[in-house]
């Protein structure tokens, strides 16, 4: 069986500001069973990932608005889509930084078609099985992970960067208990001393902004002595309001 035609109409998104490169990649990928979409800026690329839900992203590092690494880090906040970096930067430091930021592979320009296609196949084989929805909705609450916007009853809710980071971790692991340590590491990093009190304060602020009744939280439940859990629209069972 031809490995290039096993799965018809796989979707690839090319994020590159050079029209010639996008044209070359489109011809190459369409000839091997891909449906191709393009973006010439980082912001456009992030939006296209949310809309198109591609099977793989080919990302240039030198974009006119956002550096490619910034795009990669933004994507990794909510999407496990395989990302293969295509760049003229061939230094070891650049490669390590991109891979540590969540890239699945790094290919330097110019590249050979056969090698690139093989790397795309490998990246997709190793991909996680499912992506988080770009927009998470729970009744009158909406969290747009791609745009980093939170809305309640249609109006935008202003969150601090720390509040948003906590909320993002909770909604992308909906239904799962996240320990205090998990949330502290996600927000402040693994090397920072315990931030349990600060976490409680930020959770309280989130509840004030998002919950109809912060004393009886519907979305952010406390698991006593363990951590917190995002329960979406599920209101069954007693609410653990205390932080």
Q: What is the pLDDT of residue 45?
A: 95
Instruction: Render pLDDT for 140-182 as a digit per residue (tens, 0 to 9).
Output: 999 998 889 999 999 999 999 999 999 999 998 888 889 898 8
- Please state, rounded to an integer, the average pLDDT across all residues of the chain: 87
In this structure, is residue 4 part of a structural domain? Answer: no
Domain-terminating residue out of 125, 148, 180: 125
Q: Are residues 34 and 119 in the same domain?
A: yes
Question: 192 versus 68: which is more confidently predicted?
Answer: 68
Q: CA 53 → CA 63, 75, 88, distances in Å?
A: 21, 12, 26
Q: What is the pLDDT of residue 117?
A: 94
* Residue 5 predicted with pLDDT over 80: no
* Residue 8 predicted with pLDDT over 80: no
Of 105, 112, 124, 85, the closest CA to residue 28 belongs to 112
Assign 3-class secondary structure to 176-241. CEEEHHHHHHHHHCCCCCCCHHHHHHHHHHHHHHHCCCCCCCCCEEEECCCEEEECCCCCCCCCCC
Instruction: Render pLDDT for 84-139 as a digit per residue (tens, 0 to 9).
Output: 999 998 888 889 999 988 899 999 888 899 999 999 999 988 775 555 678 888 88
Q: What is the pLDDT of residue 176?
A: 87
Q: Are residues 199 and 220 in the same domain?
A: yes
Q: State the greatest distance between any 2 C-alpha atoms of the chain, in Å, as a whole number.
A: 60
In CATH, what number is assigned to the domain containing residue 60?
Answer: 3.40.50.2300
Provide the domain limits for residue 187.
Answer: 135-230
């Amino acid at each position: 069986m031809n490995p290039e035609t096993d799965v018809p109409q796989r979707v690839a998104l090319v994020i590159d500001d050079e029209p010639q490169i996008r044209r070359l990649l489109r011809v190459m990928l369409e000839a091997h069973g891909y449906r191709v979409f393009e973006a010439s800026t980082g912001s456009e690329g992030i939006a296209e990932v949310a809309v198109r839900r591609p099977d793989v992203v080919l990302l240039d590092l030198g974009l006119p608005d956002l550096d490619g690494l910034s795009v990669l880090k933004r994507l990794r906040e909510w999407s496990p889509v395989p990302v293969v970096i295509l760049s003229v930067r061939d230094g070891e430091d650049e490669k390590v930084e991109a891979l540590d930021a969540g890239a699945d592979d790094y290919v330097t320009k110019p590249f050979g078609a056969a090698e690139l296609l093989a790397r795309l196949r490998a990246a997709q084989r190793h991909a996680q099985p499912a992506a988080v929805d770009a927009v998470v909705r729970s009744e009158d609450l909406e969290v747009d992970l791609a745009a980093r916007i939170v809305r309640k009853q249609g109006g935008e809710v202003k969150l601090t960067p720390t509040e948003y980071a906590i909320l993002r971790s909770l909604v992308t692991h909906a239904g799962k208990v996240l320990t205090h340590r998990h949330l502290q590491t996600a927000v402040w990093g693994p090397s920072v001393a315990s931030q349990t009190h600060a976490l409680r304060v930020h959770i309280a602020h989130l509840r004030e902004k998002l919950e109809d009744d912060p004393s009886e939280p519907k979305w952010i439940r406390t698991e006593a002595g363990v951590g917190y859990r995002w329960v979406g629209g599920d209101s069954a069972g007693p609410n653990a309001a205390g932080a």
